[in-house]
């Protein structure tokens, strides 16, 4: 360090300064500064600063605060509190109308009572089945009487099952005997048919052990004999016909018939009669019948569906008269006596019988002459030697056949006419349109032509055969050959058809035998099944099954009733709770804080908040604070808290104090982060705040807060020294 030397002569002003007196103002200022420094030192040394941990939180309801809320909704019948009133635990606060629940409870209890009775009846039924006695009284009340009837029905079912099983067993035994008998019968029939078949094939009677089939074999032989007789008869006819005896009569007869039926067919085709006025032949009669029917169809066409009038009525009467005439005609032909009465309206049809009678008498006279001549020949021995009796008998037989055929044909034709008249009469009242009537006319014309043309062809064929026989075109040997061929074919066909019938019968019997054997096996199985189904006491399994099924049904019913009773008890308990919930009481002592005004007559929903009961000396709210891991170290229960409510800014409403009451033992993971947070619960000392102007702000559940938790207090000087890293 360098020394500075100053001359004394240069120190005059400084000395004056040192020797000069100080001003009192300076002294006072210095003392003031010293005082301020000392006061600051004392403040910094003895004064303390609060160290806080900041965290966010939310206002929640206090656990000690109970809410007043109805469990059931309904009409309010009474209000027994006022806001701010001190209430005791169990004190009635509110009553709600529970009339519907009370009605429902009464119905449920009645249903419970009925199910209880049903359970007793079911248990009684089960006991009766075990004892095999009806435990119910038929003269009791209706419900028990129903069970009496059910038990009787059970007894009937049991008895019916026994009868059915017993019947089926006996039926199976009876069926076995019947099947065995049928089997024996079938086997006997098969053997008989096989013997019948062998007899036909061999021509020897092998049916001594089968009488009924022996009769069938004899019938078959008789049939073959009749075929042989017919063959011999036809052979005699050939001998007669080839000799041309009496053939002229048939040629003339068939020529007349051909001519008449040709006129009949031409008349139908042309629509005009080809017959002479004095013609009384059968063909003209048929044409008159045809014309009458055709006229009816034509009139139906003209009517064209109109309602029948007088003309139709007259025609209907004419039909009835004509029908009566043909019926009398038939009776006369069949009996051989004239059945017509001159007073009858149908007498005009008498001419039909006259014509028939004349023709029939001619044939009958010829037959009578031949019969007389035949008797004379029989009695005259000399004449017998000169006449071929076989030919004469054949001629007589033909004449008799012609007479009988004429009568039978006439009756058949009359029946056809009667049927046609009846058909026309039945359809005369129908409203038939023109097209339908034309179709009917055409159909009738076609059928008539087909019928009469067929008859004409038959007469032509017979005429040709008669001419051929007369001219001797076919020799006797050729006729014999044809007859022999027909004879052999007939016998062969009869043989084959009989054998086929026998084979079919045998096959059918064998099929039935298989079925009978199957039925026999089945019935034997059924019979054995019923025998095996009996228990040691001889009771059928089916009967025991009825008992078991009924017991199973009753046990299931009992279980169902018990289940329903359990459900009913639950419903009754719930209903009683609903009725009890109609009286809302305080769950603890405290002061009631009303959330909404309720009056008698109001309808409130279930779960609606009516108010809260706050214990004396307690607050309605608490604060859940979420403290970060880094700030939790110095926190402890009892620490002071200062809240800044975001909805009520601290710049206007200030801070609200509180204290830490609990700290979670472990972190809660937040947003999936491992650091998490600690849940700190704190009290809040106010429920309402006022701003600078005196306006109130209410604290509500769910409000967000910023909490400053005072973790410690330090001397200000220590805090400053720590900040400047001196200590």
Lowest-confidence region among 286-295, 418-427, 473-482, 610-619? 418-427
Question: 609 vs 311, which has greater pLDDT?
Answer: 609
**430, 294, 352, 464: CA torsion to nearest 10:** -130
Residue 306 CB burial class (10 angstroms; 0-12, 13-18, ≥19): exposed
Token match 């009677």: residue? 205
Between β-strands 583-585 and 92-96, what pairing exists: parallel, antiparallel or unpaired?
antiparallel
Give the pLDDT score at 389.
60
Give the span between the Cα atoms of 124 and 111, in whole angstroms: 20
Predicted local confidence at residue 321, as pLDDT = 79
pLDDT at residue 424 in the model: 55
Q: Which three-class secondary structure state does DSSP give residue 727?
A: coil
Q: How confident is the model at residue 350 (pLDDT cuts 50, 70, 90)?
A: confident
Higher pLDDT, 220 or 303: 220
Residues pairing with 662 in the sheet: 681
Q: Is the pLDDT of residue 429 over 50?
A: no
* pLDDT, tens digit, 9 for 90 and up, residues 6-45: 565 555 555 555 556 667 787 788 878 888 877 877 776 6
Average pLDDT across the chain, whole number = 76
**What is residue 247's predicted lDDT score, i.e. its pLDDT?**
61
Q: Which of 271-285, 318-332, 630-644 has the lowest mean pLDDT?
A: 271-285
- Please check the confidence at residue 310 and state whether its pLDDT lies above 50: no
pLDDT for 257 beyond 60 = yes
Instruction: Identify the band that residue 307 occupies on the pLDDT scale cut at 50, 70 and 90.
Output: very low
d(CA 400, CA 395): 9
In terms of DSSP bridges, do strands 640-645 and 621-628 run parallel, antiparallel, or are they unpaired?
unpaired
Phi/psi for 373 (5° steps) reads -65, -40
The residue with tokens 């050959």 is 481
pLDDT confidence tier of residue 650, bands split at 50, 70 and 90: confident
Question: Using 50, 70 and 90 to split pLDDT, how confident is the model at 426?
Answer: very low
Per the listing, tokens 């020797």 go with 19
- Per the structure block, which two tokens stand in for 211? 């009488």
**pLDDT confidence tier of residue 245, bands split at 50, 70 and 90:** very low
- List, for residues 559-583, the tens digit of each pLDDT value: 998 899 899 889 888 888 888 877 8
How far is residue 458's CA from residue 264's CA, in Å, rounded to a whole number? 15
Distance CA 604, CA 74 (A): 6
Looking up tokens 């036809």, which residue turns up? 234
Answer whether 595's CB lies under 8 Å from 61's CB.
no
Whats the size of the chain, residue-wise? 727
Domain chopping of the chain, boundaries? 1-62+619-727, 99-241+477-580, 242-476
Q: Contact at 8 Å (CB) between 117 and 136?
A: no
Q: Which fold has domain 1-62+619-727?
A: Elongation Factor Tu (Ef-tu); domain 3 (2.40.30)
DSSP letters, 403-434, are: HHHHHHHHHHHHHHHHHHHHHHHHHTTS---H
Answer yes or no: is pLDDT of 215 > 60.
Answer: yes
Tell me, what's the pLDDT at 70? 80
- Report the helix count and the strand count for the chain, using DSSP H and E: 16, 17
CB 423 within 8 A of CB 257: no
Residue whose C-alpha is closest to residue 158's, from 545, 454, 533: 545
Q: Which comes out higher in pLDDT, residue 417 or 134? A: 134
pLDDT for the residue 387: 52
- Compare 136 and 310 and report the one with higher pLDDT: 136
The residue ranges of DSSP E strands in 567-630, in sequence order, are 583-585, 590-594, 603-604, 611-614, 621-628
DSSP state at residue 437: H
pLDDT at 383: 47
Question: Per mean pLDDT, which of 136-140, 292-296, 325-329 is the most reliable?
Answer: 325-329
What does the H/E/C string look like for 308-367? CCHHHHHHHHHHHHHHHHHHHHHHHHHHCCCCCCCCCHHHHHHHHHHHHHHHHHHHHHHH
Percentage above 90 pLDDT, the chain? 0
Q: Give CA–CA dist 672/530, Å, rounded.
A: 78
Q: Which two tokens stand for residue 478?
A: 């050729």
pLDDT at position 673 is: 53
- Which of 67-71, 293-297, 322-326, 540-544 is most confident? 322-326
**Bigger pLDDT: 380 vs 489:** 489
Tell me how crowded residue 9 is: count the other CB atoms within 10 A of its CB. Answer: 6
Quickly state the pLDDT bin for 629 (edges 50, 70, 90).
Answer: confident
Measured over the CA atoms of residue 420, residue 425, residue 429 and residue 434, the dihedral's sign is positive
In which band, very low, low, confident or very high, does the pLDDT at 422 lie, cut at 50, 70 and 90?
Answer: low
- Sign of the Cα torsion 60, 66, 67, 72 reads positive
Nearest to 85 by CA among 472, 591, 583: 591
């Amino acid at each position: 360090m360098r020394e500075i030397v100053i001359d004394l002569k240069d120190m005059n002003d400084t000395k004056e300064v040192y020797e000069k007196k100080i001003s009192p103002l300076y002294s006072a200022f210095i003392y003031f500064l010293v005082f301020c420094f000392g006061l600051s030192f004392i403040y910094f040394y003895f004064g303390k600063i609060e160290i806080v941990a900041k965290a966010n939180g939310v206002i929640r309801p206090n656990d000690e605060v109970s809410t007043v809320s109805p469990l059931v909704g309904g009409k309010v019948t009474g209000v027994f509190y006022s806001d701010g009133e001190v209430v005791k635990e169990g004190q009635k606060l509110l009553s709600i109308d529970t009339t519907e629940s009370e009605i429902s409870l009464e119905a449920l209890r009645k249903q419970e009572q009925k199910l209880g009775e049903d359970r007793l009846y079911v248990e009684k039924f089960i006991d009766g089945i075990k004892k095999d006695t009806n435990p119910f009284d038929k003269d009791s009340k209706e419900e028990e009487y129903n069970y009496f009837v059910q038990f009787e029905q059970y007894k009937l079912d049991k008895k019916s099952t026994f009868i059915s099983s017993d019947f089926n067993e006996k039926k199976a035994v009876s069926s076995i005997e019947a099947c065995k008998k049928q089997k024996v019968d079938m086997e006997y029939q098969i053997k008989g048919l096989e013997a019948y078949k062998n007899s036909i094939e061999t021509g020897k009677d092998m049916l001594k052990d089968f009488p009924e089939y022996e009769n069938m074999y004899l019938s078959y032989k008789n049939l073959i004999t009749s075929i042989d007789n017919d063959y011999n008869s036809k052979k005699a006819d050939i001998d007669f016909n080839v000799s041309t005896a009496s053939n002229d009569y048939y040629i003339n007869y068939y020529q007349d018939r051909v001519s008449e039926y040709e006129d009949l067919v031409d008349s139908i085709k042309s629509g005009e009669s080809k017959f002479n006025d004095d013609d009384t032949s059968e063909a003209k009669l048929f044409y008159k019948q045809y014309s009458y029917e055709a006229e009816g169809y034509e009139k139906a066409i003209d009517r064209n569906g109109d309602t029948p009038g007088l003309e139709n009525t007259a025609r209907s009467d004419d039909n009835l008269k004509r029908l009566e005439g043909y019926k009398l005609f038939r009776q006369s032909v069949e009996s051989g006596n004239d059945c017509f009465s001159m007073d009858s309206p149908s007498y005009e049809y008498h001419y039909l019988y006259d014509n028939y009678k004349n023709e029939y008498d001619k044939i009958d006279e010829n037959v009578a002459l031949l019969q007389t001549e035949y008797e004379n020949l029989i009695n005259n021995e000399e004449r017998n030697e000169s006449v071929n009796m076989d030919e004469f008998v054949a001629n007589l037989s033909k004449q008799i056949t012609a007479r009988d055929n004429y009568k039978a044909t006439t009756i058949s034709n009359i029946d056809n006419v009667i049927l046609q008249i009846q058909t026309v009469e039945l359809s005369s009242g129908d409203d038939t349109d023109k097209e339908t009537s034309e179709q009917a006319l055409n159909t009738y014309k076609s059928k008539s032509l087909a019928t009469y043309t067929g008859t004409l062809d038959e007469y032509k064929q017979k005429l040709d055969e008669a001419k051929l026989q007369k001219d001797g075109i076919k020799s006797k040997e050729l006729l014999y050959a044809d007859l022999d061929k027909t004879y052999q074919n007939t016998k062969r066909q009869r043989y084959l058809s009989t054998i086929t019938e026998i084979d079919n019968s045998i096959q059918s019997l064998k099929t039935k035998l298989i079925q009978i054997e199957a039925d026999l096996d089945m019935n034997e199985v059924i019979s054995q099944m019923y025998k095996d189904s009996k228990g040691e006491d001889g009771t059928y399994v089916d009967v025991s099954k009825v008992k078991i099924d009924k017991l199973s049904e009753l046990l299931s019913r009992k279980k169902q009733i018990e289940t329903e009773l359990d459900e009913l008890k639950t419903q009754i308990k719930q209903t009683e709770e609903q009725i009890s919930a109609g009286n809302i009481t305080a769950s603890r002592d405290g002061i009631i804080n009303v959330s909404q005004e309720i009056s008698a007559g109001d309808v409130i929903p279930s779960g609606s908040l009516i108010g809260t009961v706050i214990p004396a000396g307690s607050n309605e709210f608490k604060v859940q604070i979420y403290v970060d891991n880094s700030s939790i170290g110095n926190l402890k229960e009892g620490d002071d808290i200062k809240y800044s409510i975001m909805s009520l800014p601290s710049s206007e409403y200030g801070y609200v104090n509180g204290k830490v009451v609990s700290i979670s033992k472990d972190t809660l993971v937040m947003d999936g982060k491992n650091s998490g947070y600690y849940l700190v619960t704190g009290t809040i000392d106010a429920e309402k705040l006022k701003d600078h102007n005196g306006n109130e702000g209410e604290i509500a559940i769910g409000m967000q807060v910023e909490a400053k938790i005072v973790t410690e207090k330090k001397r200000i000087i220590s805090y400053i020294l720590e900040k400047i890293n001196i200590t």
